[in-house]
Structure 1
């Protein structure tokens, strides 16, 4: 998974900055598109229209959409085996988001730190859906590929 993220960053010209400089919105969306292009074919029951709906904040609750969301969140290193990876998410946020998004995302991540607690990942990827729904509710400028 870390290799996938590194390859995505290299493909869109994102380097891991020594400071918290972040990336441009164009680079952010390009990295997100690559993640989406990896995960969407793994879940053929999730149409492009449904994925676009998720991108726009309409988060359905079904096994296929939840597992698609889980795939993307795993690529972002935000979730692992159904557990929210708070520290890894904060680090990835610094790499994958423009500076203007970071303060609000830090607050959203803090608000959602317990959103996956007590949820079982198998067989329906429920923690991913819960996490993304929480983030959507707590971050005004919602971003998901």
Structure 2
């Protein structure tokens, strides 16, 4: 739990210098790497190639990949116990996204906000949400 809080603090610190104008792509990717470094070891059936495929937008339709996606999305405070966190997601966009990405992410979030409603499995809900975001946001970025 302490490691989680330190990670979130690091993510926030990376975003603070640019909080008024958005983070740089380098800061955004560094925050994403921290999240990936926490989630990746938890899912031994997800290889580095699989994690890279997910990062590149090739969402794998298997239980372990979906749960890895859920872990990342919970670290990003986008999902919590299978529920989409709209307000938190918009805050993350403001803190961790470069300015040029923000408008399309806000639109994508608004269009996808209800897509995971009613899905009981947390991993499936996150996978469904990420699939929608990938379809709606022109520049797909995921740790």
What is the TM-score with the length of structure 1 in the denominator?
Answer: 0.90
Could you report, residue by residue, the CA deviation over 1:63-108 in whole angstroms, capped at 9, with x for unpaired residues?
A: 1111100010011100000001011100111001000000000000
Contact 1:115-1:134 within 8 A present in 2 as well: yes
Distance in 1, matches of 2:134 and 2:19, equals 29
Higher helix fraction (1 or 2): 2
Distance in 2, matches of 1:77 and 1:17, equals 19
Could you report, residue by residue, the CA deviation over 1:94-124 in whole angstroms, capped at 9, with x for unpaired residues?
A: 00100000000000000101111010125xx
Equivalent position of 1:79 in the other structure? 79
Distance in 2, matches of 1:103 and 1:35, equals 23
Aligned CA-pair RMSD: 1.6
Contact 1:16-1:95 within 8 A present in 2 as well: no
Distance in 2, matches of 1:61 and 1:16, equals 37
Q: Cα distance, 1:18 vs. partner?
A: 5.7
**Unmatched runs of 5 consecutive residues or more in structure 2:** none
Q: Cα distance, 1:7 vs. partner?
A: 2.5
Distance in 2, matches of 1:23 and 1:91, equals 12
**Unmatched runs of 5 consecutive residues or more in structure 1:** none
Equivalent position of 1:7 in the other structure? 10
1:18 and 1:66, CA in 2 relative to 1: closer, same or farther beyond 3 A? closer
Query: How many residue pairs are counted as aligned between the two chains?
Result: 140
Contact 2:18-2:24 within 8 A present in 1 as well: no
What is the TM-score with the length of structure 2 in the denominator?
Answer: 0.92
Runs of 4+ in 1 over 6 A off after TM superposition: none
1:97 and 1:18, CA in 2 relative to 1: closer, same or farther beyond 3 A? closer
Distance in 2, matches of 1:67 and 1:54, equals 12
Q: Cα distance, 1:43 vs. partner?
A: 0.3
Distance in 2, matches of 1:106 and 1:100, equals 11
